[in-house]
Structure 1
Amino acid sequence: MVRFPFVAALIAILAWLSPVQSATSCGPSPSGAIRPSLASGFSMQVVATGLSKPRGILLDRAGNLLVVEQGRGVISAHTLDETNGCVSVGTSSDVTSGLNLNHGIELSSDGKTLYASSSQDVYSWAYDSSSKTVSNRADIVTNMAGSDHTTRTLLLSEKAPGMLVVTRGSTSNIDIAAANLASGHSQIKAFNLTNRTDTAYDFSSEGLRLGWGLRNDVGIAEHPSSGGIWSVENSGDQLTRMGVDIHEDNPAEELNFLGYLNGKKYAPQGGNFGYPWCFSAWSVDDLPDNGNLSVGSQYAVDADSDSNNQNKTDAYCADQLPARLVFQAHMAPLDIKFNNSAQEAWVTFHGSWDRTNPVGYKLSVVEFGKDGEPVDDLQSTTAARDVFANEDNSKCPDDCFRPVAMAFDSQGRIYLSSDASGEIYLISKASGASIPGSSPTSTPTSSTSSSASSSATATNIASNIQPSLFSGGCILSSVVTLFGLLL
């Protein structure tokens, strides 16, 4: 009974704080009916709204936020103003003309060369961060056109300066041409910018192959300590096995390891990860003839027939390169970024469409050890710990943010794009806060898993994430925690 005066006092404090949040101009409310939720120890604010399908983002050396607006096919630049920790957009302008740019963006270490991609080409420009303008456009990589999975993510290696990594997905759900190396489909390659001539590289026939048989690996990152190259894969939809529909909770999304660009030897580098014949298991019980399978095992689809899979079997798939971790089917990972401690890999999950109960629509973190490897093993179903999510996935995709890409600032805060809602969010972690489900780690600084069922996933989110107290502005996670203690 003595708790009630404290609760009443807390309610009064919240009523007093709400207008203060508005006065500090911590940004607009999330678009429409979006209701974000956060893990304890984290806060968020909306930095920008009204963008046209924002995808790839980065911060230039002057602190401007550069955004690939897929809906307009351009890169836009936004100055950022900050008052008492609240960030807002000052001025906005277009950096490039319309070139059907749709996702990829990178900036050289000196900040003077900007790179971006369309479905067909990778371009470069001389970039001036003071005027936020470009000049001297050049074609870097070409011959990547396709009718599906048209994003071409870009990564400039810090461990091997001058190497540009480009990802290219499949041209359909099951792209038979991807089984042919010469097609260039479902591959990740690195191109040497130092030795480049005036002629653009041909993606299909040139470049250093880091891996193939990778259905649609959109997110890619270099580990800050080891230099290892990691990617996250969007796996297949609407699949069957032995005539049985298995698509609800299979196949798993993947975290893949692609070796190094810094001279370290890795024998499997450039090898085959199995697509279009092989996929990773998530819900093993749903797979017919699953006796030798476990979470993360590679298995063949329609392995009991010779239709469309050239008699590929589970034994064949077991010989292909496996994922290092797997995630809930259909969550659609689109980006991966390491913090400077090298012990947190942040992953955006864009969200499902090929599933009865929506999953994904969130930002999660995967714990890495000092050896540069994930802490969890391949059989784990809880490797991704949720940090920023939608309060109610049943309302997705219409009333949810859909995270795409991230950019760390010098304070370790994460800028996050949401293409469906046209927003940029900013996620911050309090000093000393730990990621859900792990031991405490240091606050991340800038960088130069979910369960096998929807009900378990919901439990994971509910136990770690607190709903927003305010319709807009910065969320005070500490107040949420205090409220829980008083109750």
Structure 2
Amino acid sequence: MVAHDMVMTQASSRASTVPECPIFVGQSVPYCDSLTSICYQSYTDDNGISLRIALPKVTAAPFDSIIQIVAPIKYKWIGFSWGGTMAYVPLLVGWPNGNSVVHTSRIAFGLILPNPYANATYTQMKGSGANSTHWTLTVRAQGASQWYDSEGTLVTLNPNDAGTFAHAYSTRAVSQPARNTSAFNHHDSVGYPSIDLAAAQSASFDSWVASNLIPDTPPPTTVPAPTTLSSTVRPSSSPTGAVPIGTGVPSSCASAPEPRFSSKVASGWRAVKLAGGLTNPRALVLDSVGNVLVIENGKGIVGYSRGADACVTSSKTIVSQANLAHGIALSADGKTLFASSMTKVWSWSYDAATLSVSAQKELVVGMFAGGHTTRTLAIPRKYPNLLVVSHGSNGNFDYESIDPKTGRAAVKVFDLSAVPSGGYDYTTKGYQMGYGLRNSVGLAFDASGMLWAVENGSEGLTRTVNTTTTDLNEDNPGEEVNLLGDPSKPNTKWYGYPTCHSVWQPSAFPDQKFTIGDQFTLEPNATFDDAACKQRSTPAKLVMQAHSVPLGCEFSPDSSTLYVTFHGSSARGTPTGYKVVQVPFSKLGNGGFDPEASPSSADGYTDVWSNVDDAKCSMLDCFRPVGITVDKVGRLYVTSDGAAEGELYLLGKV
């Protein structure tokens, strides 16, 4: 149920989207369980996973239901989505635990491990259990027929229609099978069954529940989630004051728990954990007095105050708003705070001394509700009246985004001095800072004011030439470092996506002699081939190992180094990423900056901080760097949203 970097796409969007993973779509058929006498509408995918729903005789929500999941024993968890997507929808997740099964109610507010969700409850029924070949979970569901979407709008299932649901599964076991609060890895694949809810209705529903319900097994999910996505601001009357934060890196912080995982740092560097127990931490900023402000997805914005040794002394939830997905920024004077959800950008008046906000405003609205959800924000130092917003594609291949008018797979700029009433409409207002950028989550300005972006490449690529298809996925396409330019001037350049991709491993192409950094197309033909990519697409300034998943970037104070967080992925046979790297830059004669390495180099960056063995990493087994910011003395602040624990780290030279 956790994607590498995207939400499971709704059925209405799938016609124009090539999925990240294999997808199975099917219709339901009647099925009656001989053990419980419950009759369902049942769907079975190509892997032998069955999803079944039974309803009472109803005409409208809210209503209870019975859901049954039957899976071959090799599948270590199954997730069921009531709304056909991963994010902002009630999720039922189940897994085997010896001869029994465990279930949990979850909801995801982004592309991360779903949080416990208290508004939908599930009670196990007879027939649940596991044997040597299969496991079965049968539950009564309450509160799953209605929920609030990313806009805070009530969504209701129609019991008289064929609903399109979603399911995900994995062959990797959860971390703590006996606990329904366990973390689990991202899914292997997803499917979109269509289940006829009208045909699933029966007058016998109440008697089925009465004769099969097993009360109080297992215990309910213990951590509640908010009922709606409304925003609550946190004023304060007790100022923290401007506490000095020094210039060094402490050997440890007594206020922080031990690092969840062992790590290694480059010579002359030190990494220290500042805080643990964060809720899906994403991007972060430093305010004018040294507080670290972190987007915690599913929670809001949390401020971490620090003492003279740079260690955290206290924390405070500044904005309680579960749908804040990733983006955060501060104005040049530090008095305005910005943050984004999947569909909107807001601002607040901000007081660093009291870690408090007021006067929430909508600045940008109408962004796409799905696909890559991060919506990174940046304020140019040279142009403090401008707001930069990065918007990813709607999936692995978003062919409609070839038209810049969609606003997807693009970076746009908006004038903060002229925000219209109700905010800018993202797709029709603002100006382009480049398009054909699949998912440029990391944005950074160099010392000359130029905007740079790091981009996540596609997964599962194959290349077909003269009916011969070659699998390129292991080491292609390369992740990209792109120069977008002066943010005060529109940039209408196309950077290649979804048609042209960057070469990382040239030897993977039997039909063509490529160099690292060249661009290629998946099905070269008379209309569009590799040469067309070279002519029409703007190439990357540097490429990096495929599937590293760069999510954050920031320059050193003198722009001699670009630091990049690799979130990491197991999309290739051997996992990669899960580290922070440094890209050396040089100052040019015109005052600008460029990577020291050539675009054809495989050695344009080196590790700063990494897991002991990233080839053995997963969401559960390693830290996963996400956001990064750099202070005035060159220290790095990095978040990790690993499923085992959300963490905040300080890295610096010693």
1 or 2 for the larger relative contact order (CA 8 Å, sep ≥6)? 1
Aligned pair in 2 of structure 1 residues 403, 40: CA closer, same or farther (>3 Å)? Answer: same
Match of 2:342 among 103, 119, 125: 119
CA distance in 1, matches of 2:573, 2:298: 28
Q: TM-score, normalised by structure 1?
A: 0.78
Residue 21 (structure 1) shift:
6.4
User: 1:55 aligns to what?
Assistant: 282
CA distance in 2, matches of 1:174, 1:41: 41
Tell me, yes or no, if structure 1 residue 409 matches structure 2 residue 626: no
Q: Which protein is bigger by CA-based radius of gyration?
A: 2
Q: 1:11-90 counterparts in 2 under 5 A?
A: 25=254, 27-31=256-260, 34-72=261-299, 74-83=300-309, 87-90=310-313
Residue 357 (structure 1) shift:
0.8
Residue 82 (structure 1) shift:
3.5
Q: Is the 8 A contact 2:364 2:424 kept in 1?
A: yes
Q: Is the 8 A contact 2:557 2:632 kept in 1?
A: no
Q: Residue 357 of structure 2 aligns to a residue in which SS?
A: strand
Tell me, yes or no, if structure 1 residue 419 matches structure 2 residue 641: yes
Residue 97 (structure 1) shift:
2.3
Q: Is the 8 A contact 1:239 1:301 kept in 2?
A: yes
Q: Is the 8 A contact 2:298 2:322 kept in 1?
A: no
Tell me, yes or no, if structure 1 residue 157 matches structure 2 residue 380: yes
User: 1:359 aligns to what?
Assistant: 576
Aligned partner letter, 1:30: P
Residue 27 (structure 1) shift:
3.8
Match of 2:503 among 277, 281, 284: 281
Match of 2:534 among 299, 318, 323: 318
User: 1:381 aligns to what?
Assistant: 602
1:324-358 deviation per Cα after TM superposition (whole angstroms, max 9, x unaligned): 10000000011111111111111111102211111
Structure 1 stretch 124-133 or stretch 249-258: which is displaced more? Answer: 124-133
CA distance in 2, matches of 1:303, 1:217: 25
Q: Is the 8 A contact 2:557 2:633 kept in 1?
A: no
User: 1:369 aligns to what?
Assistant: 586
Q: 1:443-454 counterparts in 2 under 5 A?
A: none
Superposition RMSD in Å = 1.8
Residue 209 (structure 1) shift:
0.3
Match of 2:425 among 202, 225, 249: 202
CA distance in 2, matches of 1:333, 1:160: 26
Residue 112 (structure 1) shift:
0.8
Residue 99 (structure 1) shift:
4.6
Q: Residue 335 of structure 1 aligns to a residue in which SS?
A: strand
CA distance in 1, matches of 2:473, 2:492: 29
Residue 89 (structure 1) shift:
2.0
Q: How many residues align?
A: 393
Q: Residue 182 of structure 1 aligns to a residue in which SS?
A: helix
CA distance in 2, matches of 1:317, 1:361: 31
Q: TM-score, normalised by structure 2?
A: 0.58
Match of 1:271 among 477, 480, 493: 493
User: 2:617 aligns to what?
Assistant: 396
Residue 71 (structure 1) shift:
3.3
Q: Residue 532 of structure 2 aligns to a residue in which SS?
A: helix
Structure 2: tracts of 5 or more residues without a match: 1-249
Aligned pair in 2 of structure 1 residues 82, 26: CA closer, same or farther (>3 Å)? Answer: farther
1:192-226 deviation per Cα after TM superposition (whole angstroms, max 9, x unaligned): 111222231111111120100111110011111x2
Structure 1 stretch 407-416 or stretch 122-131: which is displaced more? Answer: 407-416
User: 2:559 aligns to what?
Assistant: 342
Whichever structure has more helix as a proportion of its residues is 1
CA distance in 1, matches of 2:255, 2:477: 40
Q: 1:241-252 counterparts in 2 under 5 A?
A: 241-242=463-464, 243-252=469-478
CA distance in 1, matches of 2:484, 2:407: 16
Q: Residue 373 of structure 1 aligns to a residue in which SS?
A: strand
Residue 67 (structure 1) shift:
0.6
Residue 133 (structure 1) shift:
1.4
Q: Is the 8 A contact 1:220 1:231 kept in 2?
A: yes
CA distance in 1, matches of 2:519, 2:344: 32
Match of 1:232 among 454, 461, 486: 454
Whichever structure has more strand as a proportion of its residues is 2
Residue 106 (structure 1) shift:
0.3
CA distance in 2, matches of 1:61, 1:21: 25
Aligned partner letter, 1:79: S
CA distance in 1, matches of 2:387, 2:564: 21
Match of 1:184 among 407, 410, 435: 407
Residue 26 (structure 1) shift:
7.5
Residue 130 (structure 1) shift:
1.8
User: 1:459 aligns to what?
Assistant: none
Tell me, yes or no, if structure 1 residue 255 matches structure 2 residue 481: yes
Q: Is the 8 A contact 1:253 1:329 kept in 2?
A: yes
CA distance in 2, matches of 1:377, 1:357: 26
1:129-180 deviation per Cα after TM superposition (whole angstroms, max 9, x unaligned): 1221111111111111232210011110011221111000000101111112
Q: Residue 270 of structure 1 aligns to a residue in which SS?
A: strand
Aligned partner letter, 1:327: M
